[in-house]
Amino acid sequence: MLAIKRIYDRILEVIAAVLMAGLTIIIVLGFVFRALGLSLVWYDEIASIGLCWLTYYGSALAALRGAHIGFPGIVNAFPPGLRVAATIFAEIVVLAFFGIVTVTGLEVLDILQGDTLVSLPSVSLVVTQSVIPITAVLIIIAELLRFPEVLAAARGAGFEDHELKEALETINEPSSASTGAAR
């Protein structure tokens, strides 16, 4: 299961990197062409869609890595039995939510049949909006792949609070200004 999770992580990471590179190229092209007085008619629309795609695929990657907002301190305060129940309940809610997003996203794609982008009439809105049901499924897969480790943490010592850990590490680090001034 860990090998599958690593491969899935790598695939999502590559998709996010490709989208980031593509979006960067589109923005640079838009800037250069605008500076030359040759504005690209499709730039704004495609850049907006690219940013949405990056956000959605990045969310799937964040879900796999457990990087979304959470409240580990509250859940950790529960006794282990209640912590496990709360974890299972939370997972069911997340899976149900993204199941609904998947179904609704597919219904929206049906409604958008035949509609196209304003600036590029050859590109169907179905293509651009397909990111919603696709990434909802990707997030469901990510949650299912991560669930065993989340359940183990709930049964064990609890969840690690990454923000608290980072804040404590920052406090415990010697200040670079004070070490530089001493030289």
Residue 179 has pLDDT above 60, yes or no: no
What is the DSSP-derived secondary structure letter of residue 38?
-
Calculate the average pLDDT of the chain. Answer: 90
pLDDT at 164: 67
Q: Burial, 135: exposed, middle or buried (Cβ in 10 Å; 0-12, 13-18, 19+)?
A: buried
Residues 63 and 140: their CA atoms lie apart, in Å, by: 9
Residue 59 has pLDDT above 70, yes or no: yes
Residues 53 and 48: their CA atoms lie apart, in Å, by: 9
Residues 150 and 66: their CA atoms lie apart, in Å, by: 9
C-alpha distances (whole Å) from 62 to each of 8, 20, 71, 99, 110 are: 12, 15, 16, 18, 28
Q: Burial, 57: exposed, middle or buried (Cβ in 10 Å; 0-12, 13-18, 19+)?
A: buried
Q: Which of 18-22, 53-57, 162-166 has the lowest mean pLDDT?
A: 162-166
| Tens digit of each residue's pLDDT (9 = 90 or more) over 93-109 | 999 999 999 999 999 99
pLDDT at 177: 53
pLDDT at 87: 93
Say how many C-beta atoms besides its own lie within 10 A of residue 16's C-beta.
20
Taking the model in full, what pTM does it have? Answer: 0.85
